[in-house]
Structure 1
């Protein structure tokens, strides 16, 4: 799935904490931002436009504002013309500092959104960077059910009809929380973290064959759902095959790669008589122990090896 951009209008309308006021350039609100980095164009304002990051949001802090105020009208007009020769998505003045008149006029002429915010530069950059990181994070879609089990974001996968939603429904009844059913949107927010969520249309809903579409939030209460969760475990539900080989010790945990991040992976065979929700709960608790540095399977293996070695010594004592 390609990485989507975010429009300037989305930032303006949906993030009131930025306290943005549009000065001019309303026709440019449809400009798309595809770069999560921001730019403070102090060096460019001196006339050095090599490596000018014009595809980023341009932030004018106290330094840029004071420098432009120090220029003669002729020099300011010259810098303004050179600056607006580049394609810009938007310009934002922080600290409530009023933009210089030539910048306002040129932004209006070029249709470039020009904003004013009372928020400090440092605070604004922190807020906007978080918004862009979330909006522009690499993402993909996976068929499955994402549920929080004992605090562990667990992605249930498997063929259609294997029982993913039914398993999740029983887990919800046991006090765990649904994040997404059927289609899980996965975003990579860092080199080692994946966040799973659901589309606005499907959020809090689940399909159960024979019952239809259920609203889990209405049925089980607000505590039964959450909007997003860190994915820490993948459990693939697979129909039982009589002669297939399945993991018996659990010493070495397999992983699955999603967006370049390796996530612990477990395959659970499904057949009548197996209580899959309890197995999923146990797998989540075991994964929590692994995160704390405790591997029950390896500890048992160590004890077993020690016991075997001691038995050999007792069976074959060393003779003087």
Structure 2
């Protein structure tokens, strides 16, 4: 498990579509180590008992309006206290002009001052989403991540069992590769686990006997994807007579990764099985279950109906048998009475 240490302000400018008012030459050297964004409202009043210096400082209409009512000396003093060496950058929203005092204090510390046409809420959301993804705690998992019918499926199993070969067959059938051999996963929110490939392995697939192939070069840009939500784990296990595998579809397990439970199914591997088609079927069945249709429930319902029909037939047959026995008894009793009369 590891944590991405930092993101540069240049990365933030590019991905959050920000403008640069000052400090373009400092964008690459300024780093961001936290996804939290600060709205320095109390600081403008002189309250610095708790000032998160390592956060991006976002100024909106409220902060800029308040600063216009301050004297030049007061505002310059506040801005000099806010412009600390650890502060990554200042961002001014809603296409507002940054105060001259902010630019003066930022120049002293070589801090970039950025801007955006978007409202404060929108630019805050854009920056937070990007930084949450980049700075999230990550875990490296052994497996192959593929996009099958829009579902992110993590294929796991022992080394040499055929994970990469199965992924290659899926790519040939029109699905997309995200990562081979090593998958980096991180939690995007309370219910979403995202998976991506390390930069060094992106778009590459290792096939034993052939070596490393570039999937994007051989199959085109439509055969790869940078990241996807991990919706299902399919574990490939060697088939043995002693091993017990789910046959009805009601034995799905969950794997707990970070704070997210990911469904897991186990598929036995033996000669002659087409794993790519099986994984496609598993993906479609999982999607059907997510939409409320469960084939196992249908089978159980059909079985219960059959048991009820058979029970009714048995009762009917029993009644007919009893009626026949009573009829035979009446005939025997009638013959016995006729014999006694004679």
Partner of 1:7: 7
> TM-score of the superposition, structure 2-length normalised?
0.84
Displacement of 1:30 in angstroms is 3.4
Partner of 1:154: 153
Distance 1:271 1:122 in 2: 55
Partner of 2:279: 280
Displacement of 1:247 in angstroms is 1.0
Distance 1:234 1:222 in 2: 25
Displacement of 1:87 in angstroms is 4.5
Instruction: Choose 1 or 2 for highest CA Rg.
Output: 2
User: What SS does the corresponding residue of 1:189 show, helix, strand or coil?
Assistant: strand
Q: Is the 8 A contact 1:5 1:32 kept in 2?
A: no
Q: Is the 8 A contact 2:94 2:116 kept in 1?
A: yes
Q: Is the 8 A contact 1:143 1:157 kept in 2?
A: yes
Distance 1:8 1:211 in 2: 39
CA RMSD of aligned residues (A): 2.6
Q: Is the 8 A contact 1:20 1:117 kept in 2?
A: yes
Structure 2 residue runs of 5 or longer lacking an equivalent are 320-342
User: Which structure dedicates a bigger proportion of its chain to helix?
Assistant: 2
Displacement of 1:79 in angstroms is 2.5
Matched, 1:247 2:227: no
Partner of 1:192: 191
Deviates more, 1:302-311 or 1:208-217: 302-311
Matched, 1:36 2:35: yes
Q: 1:223 to 1:11 in 2, by over 3 A?
A: closer
Q: Is the 8 A contact 2:169 2:276 kept in 1?
A: yes
Distance 1:154 1:7 in 2: 29
Displacement of 1:22 in angstroms is 4.9
Distance 1:140 1:22 in 2: 37
User: What SS does the corresponding residue of 1:109 show, helix, strand or coil?
Assistant: helix
Deviates more, 1:31-40 or 1:66-75: 31-40
Q: Cα deviation per residue 1:4-49 (whole Å; 9 max; x = unaligned)?
A: 243333435633x523315149558534323322121122211233
Moved over 6 A (4+): none
Q: Any residues of structure 2 matched to 1:1-320 within 5 Å, and which?
A: 1-12=1-12, 14-15=14-15, 18-24=17-23, 30-84=29-83, 87-316=86-315
Structure 1 residue runs of 5 or longer lacking an equivalent are none
Q: Is the 8 A contact 1:36 1:133 kept in 2?
A: yes
Q: Is the 8 A contact 1:91 1:115 kept in 2?
A: yes
